[in-house]
Amino acid sequence: MFTLEGLKEDAGRRGLALYGVLVTQNGQEKGKALWRSSQRINIHSLSKSFASCAVGLAIEEGLLGLDDLVLPFFPEKLDGSPPKNLEELRIRHLLTMSPGHEAPLLMGNQRDELEDEDWVHYYLNQPFARAPGSVYVYDTGNTYLLSAILQKRTGQTLLDYLKPRLLGPLGYKNPQWFTCPRGVTLGGGGLHLSLEEIARFGQLLLDGGAYEGRQLVPRAYLELATAKQIETAPVHPKERPDWRAGYGFQFWRCAREDAYRGDGAYGQFVVVLPRQRAHVAITAHEEHNTQGLLTLIWDHILPQL
């Protein structure tokens, strides 16, 4: 019999600040545990995986290509002549967190303190010290720029673009997503979902982009997005193995069982386990040990599936 009692006891011993855990296998709920009401919260960088799906849809619709150059979308935003590395920046480099910046941009506190209200201008005028694709540096600015590109190409915000294509079909009523001062959907954070809504996204991923018999996201794109596209191990310590397993197109690989995940700050997770035909949704506010949250899955959930 499937149980989450061992997980709950272990989480308590470790002092892990969980909000909720929901386990689904073969389309059926296997177990659920709540430490607080299951209301919508900011899922932080788990939002990036939804933005990635929007890119996949735009590619299918012929609006974008993985190898499209970024600069032609916003040539008017540059303060001077573009550096060579910026001229070579492509959509796929934004997706894989490898644009050539040496430090993250538009992360939480950075956004709060930014004086430039034109975040596209801010992003493009930072130094591009390395060749695109050469080094992974996790950066919410990359996802924001993808959102801005989609808005430039479609005339809609990322949120409005996804409502009829993904969010509405998943049953998300009146979804909320942070924007920048210029009205561009943040993309890299700020989408608000409940535990159950995250689990629906997990089912879509497990089913190759289909939900309730309807193909919402291209299967071929998701196969690329959830595969390892760039190395992350040199950046993350050995104590965090699930951050060393590689990165796709705004999705993380996990260190076990051919699993992958969408991942937000403080432990907002959807972990997909293809071999077990299962997925796990987690909400939390764990500031110190998010690896510990994933370890709960490996120690207590995976052996029961």
Same domain, 75 and 117: yes
pLDDT reported for residue 298 = 98
Q: Do 226 and 293 fall into the same domain?
A: yes
Q: Are residues 204 and 159 in the same domain?
A: no
Say if residues 195 and 281 touch (Cβ distance below 8 Å). yes
At residue 254, what is the residue type? C
Handedness of CA 227, 148, 64, 199 (dihedral sign): positive
Q: Are residues 148 and 133 in the same domain?
A: yes
Q: Which pLDDT tens digit goes with each residue over 62-101?
A: 999 999 999 999 999 999 999 999 999 999 999 999 999 9
Q: Helix or strand or coil: residue 42?
A: strand
Residue 285 pLDDT level (bands cut at 50, 70, 90): very high
One domain, residues 64 and 182? yes
**Which residues lie closer than 8 Å to 275 by C-beta, 6 or more apart?**
257, 258
Same domain, 255 and 162: no
Query: Tokens standing for 299?
Result: 């120690």
- Are 222 and 304 within one domain? yes
Domain stops at, among 134, 157, 190: 190
Q: How far apart are CA 255 and CA 107, in angstroms?
A: 25
Do 68 and 24 belong to one domain? no
pLDDT for residue 25: 98
pLDDT at 196: 98
Q: Is residue 171 scored above 90 in pLDDT?
A: yes
CATH number for the domain including 122?
3.40.710.10
Read off the pLDDT of residues 201-210 as tens digits, 9 standing for 90 and up. Answer: 999 999 999 9
**Whether 63 and 179 share a structural domain:** yes
One domain for residues 70 and 154: yes
The answer to whether the Cα torsion of 204, 206, 208, 214 is positive or negative is negative
246-274 mean pLDDT: 97
Choose one of 172, 190, 208: the last residue of a domain. 190
Provide the number of structural domains found in the chain.
2
Residue-number span of the structural domain to which 152 is assigned: 46-190
pLDDT digit string, tens, across residues 88-98: 999 999 999 99
Provide the pLDDT for residue 295.
Answer: 98
**% of the chain surpassing 90 pLDDT:** 99
Q: Residue 131 in contact with residue 85, Cβ under 8 Å?
A: yes
Residues 163 and 53 in one domain: yes
Is the pLDDT confidence value at 262 over 90? yes
Residue ending a domain, choose from 162, 190, 218: 190
257 has pLDDT over 90? no
pLDDT at 231 over 90: yes
pLDDT tier for residue 14 given thresholds of 50, 70 and 90: very high
Q: What is the pLDDT of residue 109?
A: 87
Give me the chain's average pLDDT, please: 97
Contact by Cβ (8 Å): 71, 90: no
What residues pair up with 229 in beta bridges, in sequence order? none
Same-domain status, 124 and 220 = no
